Amino acid sequence: MPLLGVNIDHVATVRQARYRGQDVLGEPDPLRAAHEAELGGADIITVHLREDRRHIHDRDVARLREGVSLRFNLEMGASDEMVRIALATRPHMCTLVPEGRQEVTTEGGLDVAGQAARIKQIVARLRDAGIFVSAFIDAQQAQIEACAAAGFQACEFHTGPYAAAFFAAGGDTALGTLAVERDRLRDAGHRTRALGLRFHAGHALNYVNVGPVATMPGVSELHIGHAIVSRAVFVGLRQAVADMKHAMAARG
State the Cα–Cα distance between residues 56 and 212, nearest whole angstrom. 30
Q: How far apart are CA 163 and CA 182, in angstroms?
A: 9
Catalytic, out of 55, 57, 203, 223: 203
Q: Band the pLDDT of 8: cuts 50, 70, 90.
A: very high
Rama region for 3: left / alpha / beta (φ>0; ψ in -120 to 50; rest): beta
Catalytic residue among 35, 48, 55, 223: 48
Is residue 104 pLDDT above 50, yes or no? no
Length of the chain: 252
Going from N- to C-terminal start, the domains of the chain cover 3-249
- Three-state SS for 44? strand
Give yes or no: 203 in active site: yes
48 catalytic per annotation: yes
Share of the chain above pLDDT 90, in %: 89
> In whole angstroms, what is the distance from residue 119 CA to residue 127 CA?
12
CATH of 3-249, one of 3.40.50.300, 3.20.20.70, 3.40.50.880, 3.60.40.10: 3.20.20.70
- Cα(146)–Cα(132) distance, integer angstroms: 17
Examine the pLDDT at 208 and tell me if it is beyond 60: yes
Give pTM, 2 decimals: 0.94
One of 36, 75, 181, 221 is an active-site residue; which one?
A: 75
Question: Average model confidence (pLDDT) for the chain?
Answer: 94
20-78 pLDDT tens trace: 776 767 799 999 999 999 999 999 999 999 999 989 999 999 999 999 999 999 999 99
Radius of gyration of the chain (CA): 17
Per-residue burial over 92-103, b = 16 or more CB atoms within 10 Å of its CB, e = otherwise? bbbbbbbbeeee
- Taking the C-alpha atoms of residue 39 and residue 101, their distance in angstroms, rounded to an integer, is 34
